[in-house]
């Protein structure tokens, strides 16, 4: 199972990425891929309080992809689905392969 496992396209054409967030981290960014859970690991410095970590996740991923990123589900958990506007699943996977060591 590779990075493609965490990227899916809905019937409407929206691309969703399944992520696992590590709030309160000393670093920020994409830190790996959890093969067991099939999720992209994203660390943020913000604490998981009042949506701060969700906002930080969107900022981190928006910076990486240069596109609008929105949390679609998992607003109160570490496991989330985010949508990335204006990119295909293949474009997202290609970008992530450059960030995540296999």
The CATH number assigned to the domain holding 36 equals 3.30.1200.10
pLDDT digits (tens, 9 = 90+) for 7-53: 999 999 899 999 999 999 999 999 999 999 999 999 999 999 999 99
Please report whether residue 32 resides in a domain.
yes
Place of tokens 């985010």: 82
Domain count, the chain: 1
Please report whether residue 56 resides in a domain.
yes
The kind and range of the H/E element at 35 are none
Range of the domain at 61: 3-94
Compute the distance between CA of residue 33 and CA of residue 76 in angstroms, rounded to an integer.
Answer: 21
Please report whether residue 102 resides in a domain.
no
Please report whether residue 100 resides in a domain.
no
Please report whether residue 10 resides in a domain.
yes
**pTM to 2 decimals?**
0.91
Please report whether residue 99 resides in a domain.
no
């Amino acid at each position: 199972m590779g990075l493609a496992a965490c990227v899916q396209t809905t019937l409407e054409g929206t691309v969703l990425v399944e992520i696992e967030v590590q709030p309160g981290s000393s670093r920020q960014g994409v830190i790996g891929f959890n093969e067991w859970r099939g999720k992209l690991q994203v660390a943020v410095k913000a604490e998981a309080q009042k949506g701060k970590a969700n906002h930080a996740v969107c900022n981190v991923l928006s910076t990486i992809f240069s596109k609008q990123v929105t949390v679609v589900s998992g607003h109160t958990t570490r496991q989330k689905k985010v949508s990335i506007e204006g990119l295909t699943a293949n474009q997202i996977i290609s970008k992530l392969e450059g960030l995540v060591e296999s």
